[in-house]
């Protein structure tokens, strides 16, 4: 439950208030984590370059954060830049995202203060460009005493590297040779029957990049044909491991630089 003193429902838009009115206040989540996906497609659907999708995505970050702070959500964690994005995307796009992050922090700091939002980060942030790290530290320090929503940006973050880093911090040598499934490949497809959208503590490490298929069918009704249907669905997916697919839109670094400077 949130401390009711921090609620600013009156600041929600009329549409947000209408949805908020349908929620059970005693069952609000304490922590919401978001995988922010689809910037490139958003731009593609409008025949725009990918960077405009990222820019629009930054706007969503701010509006969602402000809504979270108005309803008193204590923890909001956004997947802003994955380790795989860093390794697999074209350099021009990575550079653009770094500049966008820097300018985002700069231009939204006052709004973060007005909304009592505290900014923090998780991930291998020490590998980001020094000028980006400086801006990140600046924003975190400036908002450190805010007491509303904690906005955590996952930057250069990967779930596996987090576990590796945590183990490395505990022991100088870390090996996963003792994991139960060490002799098998990681699952390509995870099927869940009965419609529940949960992982339930199953193969957490191994499913980092597994495709998930959820069916309403109850397990006792599940037969070979349903396995085949799941595999057919799996085969229609595009597995990108955090990278880009062909035809995801052009990246033009110079145009993007100008665009950021102007925004």
Q: For residue 128, give the nearest of 96, 155, 159, 108 by alpha carbon.
A: 155
Query: Which residue, chain included where needed, has tokens 């980006």?
Result: 132
- Residue closer to ligand FPP by CB (options 124, 217) is 124
Active site (annotated) includes residue 39: no
Residue 248 contacts ligand FPP per CB under 6 A: yes
Q: For residue 59, give the nearest of 71, 67, 70, 49 by alpha carbon.
A: 67
Question: Which structure tokens are listed for 212?
Answer: 């998930």
- Residue closer to ligand FPP by CB (options 151, 191) is 151
User: Contacts with ligand FPP: how many residues (CB under 6 A)?
Assistant: 18
Task: Kindly state the smallest distance separating residue 242's Cβ from ligand FPP, in Å.
Answer: 8
- Distance, in Å, from the CA atom of 260 to the CA atom of 253, rounded to the nearest integer, reads 10
Residue 237 contacts ligand FPP per CB under 6 A: no
DSSP state of 220: G
Among 3, 25, 38, 195, binds ligand FPP (CB under 6 A): 38
Q: For residue 117, give the nearest of 160, 85, 70 by alpha carbon.
A: 70
Q: For residue 117, give the nearest of 244, 23, 6 by alpha carbon.
A: 6
Residue 99 contacts ligand FPP per CB under 6 A: no
Active site (annotated) includes residue 146: no
Residue 80 contacts ligand FPP per CB under 6 A: yes
Residues that bind ligand FPP in the complex, under the rule CB under 6 A: 36-41, 54, 57-58, 61, 80-81, 85, 100-101, 104, 153, 248
Give the residue numbers marked as catalytic.
Answer: 37, 85
């Amino acid at each position: 439950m949130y401390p009711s003193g921090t609620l600013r429902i009156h600041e929600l838009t009329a549409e947000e208030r209408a949805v908020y009115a349908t929620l059970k206040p005693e069952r609000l989540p304490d922590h919401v984590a978001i995988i922010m996906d689809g910037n490139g497609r958003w731009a593609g659907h409008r025949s725009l370059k990918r960077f405009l999708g990222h820019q629009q995505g930054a706007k969503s970050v701010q509006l969602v954060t402000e809504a979270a702070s108005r309803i008193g959500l204590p923890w909001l964690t956004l997947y802003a830049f994955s380790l795989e994005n860093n390794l697999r995307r074209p350099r021009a796009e990575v550079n653009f995202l770094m500049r966008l992050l820097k300018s985002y922090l700069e231009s939204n700091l006052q709004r973060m203060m007005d909304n009592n939002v505290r900014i923090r980060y998780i991930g291998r942030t020490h590998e980001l460009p020094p000028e980006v790290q400086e801006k990140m530290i600046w924003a975190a320090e400036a908002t450190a005493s805010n007491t509303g929503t904690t906005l955590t940006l996952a930057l250069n973050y990967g779930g596996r590297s987090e576990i590796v880093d945590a183990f490395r911090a505990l022991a100088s040598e870390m090996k996963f040779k003792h994991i139960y499934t060490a002799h098998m490949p990681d699952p390509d497809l995870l099927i869940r029957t009965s419609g529940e959208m949960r992982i339930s503590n199953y193969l957490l490490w191994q499913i980092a990049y597994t495709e998930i298929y959820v069916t309403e069918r109850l397990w006792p009704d599940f037969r070979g044909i349903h396995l085949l249907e799941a595999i057919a669905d799996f085969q229609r997916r595009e597995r990108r491991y955090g990278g880009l697919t062909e035809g995801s839109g052009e990246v033009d670094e110079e145009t993007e630089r100008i665009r950021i400077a102007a925004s």
